[in-house]
Amino acid sequence: MRNYPHPLVAREGWPFLAGAVLLALALSWLASWWLAALAWLVALFILQFFRDPAREIPEQPNAILCPADGRVIKVEPAHDPYLDRNSLKISVFMNVFNVHSQRSPVDGKVEKVWYDRGRFLNAAVDKASIENERNALHLTAANGQAVTCVQVAGLIARRILCYVSAGDTLTRGQRYGFIRFGSRVDVYLPVSARACVTIGQKVRATETVLAELQ
């Protein structure tokens, strides 16, 4: 099954892309070729950063899907600070070359949303999970189990966007947010969940099965 409720280039990037293209066109007419070439390279970088392709959705009913593109940097037992429980924590770090939209890991209901204004540390470091700007969702999956999904800002990421609120219903693979320019996503799962990824593994939002609920 393919989920595609959004443009190929994320709406969040349209102003940046339009500005970059207009600047590149102006420099192509008015400035030296190397300045114009540099401007076109910037426009291409912005285009690739804000790309938002369709993804295939796995069919397994007990699968927790990866909410973001990137590289797995944590798979460990941890305390879920939002639901005050022991959990399995899986963290995915996104660099500037990854797709930066976030998609729901499960079919479920949004029970609560927390936003914390914080710092802008390197998103790859451990304390970014509790000190950086972040936005967390408490989701109740179709089987009744709780999943916490946290958008975490990074060193140069200065804007977390979340488009859902408490009471909303999400389908897995559904786009719910975006983080601009480098970041990470933390997922807290029940301790009974079985991880399906390993540290260092490259993952893709929706298409990679992060874990399985038992």
Q: Which residues are catalytic?
A: 183
Compute the Cα dihedral for 42, 43, 46, 47 and give only its sign. Answer: negative
In angstroms, the CA 186 to CA 78 distance is 11
Per-residue HEC secondary structure of 61-87 comes to CCEEECCCCEEEEEEEEEEECCCCEEE
Q: Record the tokens describing residue 44, joined without a space.
A: 């291409």
Q: Record the tokens describing residue 5, joined without a space.
A: 């409720």
DSSP 12: G
Q: Record the tokens describing residue 24, joined without a space.
A: 């590149």
DSSP 56: E
